[in-house]
């Protein structure tokens, strides 16, 4: 998925900057005797990429042969050793999977982070296939691209289709802790007037929409001003160009690994068939434009025209003209240069598509045994983000639930910003939007726009201590996080 150039640059950086780390080779307790499936090694590394012509030092999650993330099969055990080769503690979360809770990768909840030079081992069954991803849940490492694809093949996959993974990310040359400090410092002050060419951090951090707007007000979007938007590590100035078969079939697996940015996927004149969201099958939806919130995934099938042609697959930032993407080329067609600004600004993401999605395999209909109402709350003037007006700290008690229950989470967004809400360790079904019940998509991350009410249902079938949070990185870090716990 990534360019050979980026892979080579990264490999050079890895060999120059890091020495081999001695690993404990003892099998973890409980590992079966005999001939277990080989363990896949994933290394957390520094690597160098080029963004808008300038070098950037970022993180990566790669196998020893340079493969980003992992592609595996349903039914195989997920047997992984994560080696931490960066200079600070880290821990990787398997976004959307349902491991035993101690292997979920949330520091302070699932377990301690992996120290520099250390490693951790994972071994659990994969219950379902689909498009997933992995990312650091430690500090703000995700902003430095500590993320990778996690693809699980299953019976839905066809041998006659070419699979293309497109990983979207937002990028800043400003360090993440500085971005966060500026968000906190700048919160509540009016947006500075346009300063021609000013590139100070303060100017990059938008103060737009500081009032905690109600449902009717214009939503407050994109509170970090990024330097670039990446698709598979590259911008449209030098995009990844992928050869496809004229007349062939393509499966796009689009992963929004951005820290703060949502997009509209623009297929141009091609009709796409959306077949899964967050890995879970839906009744297919045909369109040329699909919204994707932070942390969500879209599986989109395309039929490539028979004539030689090039097909940009674009992601347009919500409420903005900025765009990124990859180019599919069928036959010997010329590759046109695509500007990194769309002709018109896009709209804010809505729930129009979400309300039309129908799970192919919905939860068994059942009355909820327990309902938790979770108000999405915040104070933009202090850049404090919270759930039920409580900013997360380790003394916050977990939401009580019990094993075997059908649980519903009622999320009511009382802020002026959209929040993509993610539950760990369980897949949920969207069952209600603004009071209207329906059998919506099964997924792991759902967008709750300002003023809206979204209800999800899940079965408490994976006991442990689990995170539930807004997936906007700086909202999460500011406290928009809580936990559920049951035995
Ligand atoms: Cu949020």
What's the pLDDT tens digit per position in 276-286? Answer: 999 999 999 99
What is the per-residue pLDDT for 220? 82
Q: pLDDT category, 450, cuts 50, 70, 90?
A: very high
Residue 120, both tokens: 């951790």
Q: 375: CA distance to ligand 1 center in Å? A: 12
Residue 483, both tokens: 């936990």
Tell me: the pLDDT tens digits for 158-216? Answer: 889 999 999 999 999 999 999 999 999 876 544 433 333 333 333 333 333 333 333 34
Q: Is the pLDDT of residue 22 over 50?
A: no
Tell me: the pLDDT tens digits for 174-185? Answer: 999 999 999 998
Mean pLDDT, rounded, for 330-334: 93
What is the per-residue pLDDT for 34? 53
User: How many CA atoms does the CB half-sphere of 157 hold within 13 Å?
Assistant: 19
Q: 5: CA distance to ligand 1 center in Å? A: 35
Q: 440: CA distance to ligand 1 center in Å? A: 22
Q: 405: CA distance to ligand 1 center in Å? A: 27
Q: pLDDT category, 5, cuts 50, 70, 90?
A: very low
Q: 475: CA distance to ligand 1 center in Å? A: 5
What is the per-residue pLDDT for 80? 98
Q: 24: CA distance to ligand 1 center in Å? A: 39
Residue of 226, 232, 239, 95 whose CA lies nearest to 170 = 226
Q: 381: CA distance to ligand 1 center in Å? A: 15
Q: 315: CA distance to ligand 1 center in Å? A: 21
In the chain, the percentage of residues whose pLDDT exceeds 90 is 83
Distances (CA, A) of 99 to 4, 77, 216, 390, 423: 33, 11, 40, 28, 13
CA distance 156 to 153: 8
What is the per-residue pLDDT for 1? 35
Q: 472: CA distance to ligand 1 center in Å? A: 5
Which residues neighbour 315 within 8 Å (Cβ) at sequence distance 6 or greater?
166, 168, 229, 231, 254, 263, 264, 265, 266, 292, 323, 324, 325
Q: Is the pLDDT of residue 4 over 70?
A: no
Q: 415: CA distance to ligand 1 center in Å? A: 9
Mean pLDDT, rounded, for 248-264: 98
Q: Is the pLDDT of residue 59 over 60?
A: yes
Quick one: CA torsion of 4, 340, 297, 223, rounded to 10 degrees?
120
What is the per-residue pLDDT for 35? 59
CA–chain centroid gap for 474, Å, is 14
In the chain, the percentage of residues whose pLDDT exceeds 70 is 86
Q: Is the pLDDT of residue 408 over 90?
A: yes
Q: 305: CA distance to ligand 1 center in Å? A: 40
Q: 218: CA distance to ligand 1 center in Å? A: 16
Q: 419: CA distance to ligand 1 center in Å? A: 4
Q: 232: CA distance to ligand 1 center in Å? A: 25
What is the per-residue pLDDT for 218? 62
Q: 385: CA distance to ligand 1 center in Å? A: 7
Q: 417: CA distance to ligand 1 center in Å? A: 7
Tell me: the pLDDT tens digits for 439-449? Answer: 999 999 999 99
Q: 414: CA distance to ligand 1 center in Å? A: 11
Q: 231: CA distance to ligand 1 center in Å? A: 23
Q: 473: CA distance to ligand 1 center in Å? A: 8
Q: 70: CA distance to ligand 1 center in Å? A: 28
419-423/297-303 β-pairing: unpaired
Q: 108: CA distance to ligand 1 center in Å? A: 20
What is the per-residue pLDDT for 195? 33
Q: 99: CA distance to ligand 1 center in Å? A: 25
Q: What is the mean pLDDT of the chain?
A: 88
Q: 30: CA distance to ligand 1 center in Å? A: 39
Q: 391: CA distance to ligand 1 center in Å? A: 12
Mean pLDDT, rounded, for 63-91: 97
What is the per-residue pLDDT for 336? 85
CA distance 112 to 116: 12
- The helix (H) or strand (E) run that includes residue 12 is helix 4-17
Q: 13: CA distance to ligand 1 center in Å? A: 34
Q: Is the pLDDT of residue 299 over 80?
A: yes
- Ranges 59-73, 173-187, 337-351: which has the least confidence: 173-187
SS3 of 206, please?
A: coil
272-277/241-244 β-pairing: unpaired
């Amino acid at each position: 998925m990534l360019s050979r150039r980026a892979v080579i640059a990264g490999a050079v950086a890895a060999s120059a900057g890091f020495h081999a780390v001695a690993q404990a080779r003892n099998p973890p307790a409980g590992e079966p005797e005999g001939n277990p499936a080989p363990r896949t090694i994933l290394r957390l590394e520094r690597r160098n990429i080029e963004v808008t012509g300038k070098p950037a030092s970022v993180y990566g999650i790669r196998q020893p042969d340079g493969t980003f993330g992992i592609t595996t099969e349903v039914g195989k055990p997920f047997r992984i050793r994560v080696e931490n080769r960066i200079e600070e503690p880290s821990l990787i979360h398997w976004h959307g999977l349902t491991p035993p809770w101690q292997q979920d990768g949330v520091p302070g909840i699932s377990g301690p982070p992996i120290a520099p030079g250390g490693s951790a081992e994972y071994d659990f069954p994969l219950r379902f296939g689909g498009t997933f991803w992995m990312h650091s849940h430690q500090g703000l490492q995700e902003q430095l691209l500590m993320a990778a694809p996690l693809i699980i093949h299953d019976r839905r996959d066809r041998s006659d289709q070419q699979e293309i993974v497109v990983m979207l990310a937002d990028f800043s040359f400003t360090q993440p802790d500085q971005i966060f400090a500026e968000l906190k410092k700048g919160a509540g002050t009016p947006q500075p007037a346009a300063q021609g060419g000013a590139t100070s951090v303060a100017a990059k951090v938008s103060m737009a929409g500081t009032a905690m707007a109600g449902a009717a007000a214009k939503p407050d979007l994109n509170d970090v001003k990024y330097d670039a938007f990446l698709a598979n590590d590259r911008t449209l100035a030098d995009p990844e160009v992928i050869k496809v078969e004229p007349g062939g079939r393509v499966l796009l697996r689009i992963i929004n690994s951005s820290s703060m940015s949502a997009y509209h996927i623009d297929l141009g004149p091609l009709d796409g068939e959306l077949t899964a969201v967050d890995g879970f099958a839906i009744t297919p939806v045909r369109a040329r434009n699909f919204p994707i919130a932070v942390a969500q995934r879209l599986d989109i099938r395309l039929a490539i025209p028979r004539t030689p042609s090039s097909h940009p697959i674009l992601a347009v930032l919500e409420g903005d003209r900025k765009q990124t993407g990859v180019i599919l080329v069928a036959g010997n067609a010329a590759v046109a240069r695509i500007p990194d600004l769309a002709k018109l600004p896009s709209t804010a993401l809505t729930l129009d598509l979400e309300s039309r999605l129908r799970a192919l395999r919905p939860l068994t209909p059942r009355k909820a045994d327990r309902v938790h109402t979770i108000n999405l709350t915040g104070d933009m003037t202090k850049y404090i983000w919270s759930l039920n007006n409580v900013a997360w700290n380790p003394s916050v008690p977990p939401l009580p639930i019990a094993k075997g229950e059908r649980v519903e989470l009622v999320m009511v967004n009382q802020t002026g910003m959209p929040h993509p809400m993610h539950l760990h360790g369980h897949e949920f079904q969207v069952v209600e939007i603004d009071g209207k019940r329906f059998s919506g998509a099964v997924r792991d991350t759902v967008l709750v726009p300002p003023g809206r009410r979204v209800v999800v249902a899940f079965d408490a079938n994976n006991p442990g201590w689990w995170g539930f949070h807004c997936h906007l990185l700086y909202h999460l870090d500011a406290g928009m996080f809580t936990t559920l716990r049951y035995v």
